[in-house]
Structure 1
Amino acid sequence: MTITLITGANRGIGFETARQLLELGHVVYIGARDTERGEKAAAEIGARFVRLDVTDDASVKEALAAIGAAEGRLDVLVNNAGILAAGDIDGPSALRSFDTNAVGIVRVTEAALPLLRKSANPTVVTLSSSAGSFWAVTNPERPEFHLPLALYSASKAAATMLTVQYAKSQPGIKFNALEPGTTATDMTAAFGIGRPPEESARAVVRLATLDADGPTGTFQDENGELPW
C-alpha cells in the first residue's frame, strides 16, 4: 500500500487528488485545519483524516507523528494547501501569504522527511503556479502577465525554488513542483474562471505516482516541464 498525505485536501484540487489516488489503491490522509470539514471530506470518499494546519508548527508535528505511529512511513506528500492572497499589499498580508504558501511547505516537508526516508519510492509534489514564473509573468502572450497577484506570485516563486533546493539536498526523494492549470475552486471563485478540479488533479496524480527513476527538481504542468 502507498501511504499518501495531502495538505489542504478537504476541497478543490486536493480533495479530487485524494479521490483519484484512493481509486489507485493509495491509503490517503486528508490534512485540513478545520476538523469538521476535514472529517466530512474524508468520510465522503473513504480517506483518513488528520488535523493539519500548515501555519502551525505544533499541528504539523502532531499530524506527522500520528501518521508515523499508524503507518510507520510516508510514501507520497502532496503540498497542496495554499491561499490566493488577493487584495491589499502590506506587511500582514505578505506574512500571511508566505506563511501558508512557502513556509508551510518547509514545516510540512521537514516534519515528513524522517517518514519519507523509510519509503522505497518517496515522492513530494508541491502545487506551485506559473504565476510565480519570471518567464510567464513577463510574457505578454501568457495569461499570467495580466494577473495582479503580487504576493501570491512571489510566494509561489518561493514554493518552486524550495522544490528545487529540496531535490538537490535530498537526492533519495523526488521533489517536483506543479502548475496545475487554471481551476475553478473556492480560491478562484471571484475570477469566475477555470476547469473542473478533477481535470487538474490528474496532473498531480501523474507526479504523485512516478516510478523510482522519475524526474526530480522540475517545474511542470500537464504537458511536461515549464521554464520559470
Structure 2
Amino acid sequence: MPQSSGAQARSHYALVGLAATCLVAAVVTTLASGPLASRLGPVGTYVALASMWVIAILAAIAWCRLAPAETLGLKRLSFRDTMLALAAGVGLAIAVPLLSVGAAGIGGYETGTVETAAQFDVGIAVVGVLTAAVTEEVVYRAVAMGALTALRAPTVLVLLVPALLFTLTHWAWGLPHTVFVVFPLSVALGALYLWRRSLAVNIVAHLVADLPVVVLAAVAST
C-alpha cells in the first residue's frame, strides 16, 4: 500500500535527521583523528578508522530501515559500471598529483599526497585507504546526497553541501591542498554518484584514486 504524503514527508525528514547525525559524527571523528594519533600513536589512528566504520555501518542499516536500499545506491555492479569506476579512479589518481602541484605553486608549500603518505606505515595506509573509500562514500555521498535528494533540494546543493563538509574534514592538510585538491576531488565523486547512483561505483573509484597513497607509503618505508 503506498505511503501517504504525510508519511513520506516524515520518512524524508527522518532521513535528513539520520544524515545530519552521521555527518556530524563523521566530521568530528575525522577532525579528532589527528589529535588521537598525536596522543596515542597508531592506536589512535586505528580508533578513528574503526569509529568511521561504525558510523558508516550504522548509517546504512538505519537508512535501509527507513527507505528502500536502492535509494542508498545499493545495487549490483555491472561490468560497464565496473569499467567506468576503474576509469574514473585512474583519472582521479592522475588528477590529484597534478592539482597538488598547482596547490603548492599557489600556496608556496605542499602538504599533500607525498608528505601525508610518508607519515604512515604500509599497514595504516592500506586500512586508511580502504576505510576512506567505503565509509566516506557511504556518509558523504550515499547518505548525505540521498537525504538532500529526498528533500528535492536543488542539484547544486545536493552536490556542493556534502562536498564542502568532506573538504572541511581535510583541513589539516593545509589550505591550498584542501581547496584546490580535496574540494575538486569531492565534487568529482559527487558528480559520479549523481550520474550512476551506485555506491559500489563510487567506492571502487575512490579506492583506485587513493591507491597511490599505499604505494608512496610502501616506497617511503623502504
* TM-score computed with the length of structure 1 as normaliser: 0.37
Larger RCO, structure (CA 8 Å, separation 6 or more): 2
Whose helix fraction is larger, Structure 1's or Structure 2's? 2
Whose strand fraction is larger, Structure 1's or Structure 2's? 1
State the structure with more CA Rg: 2
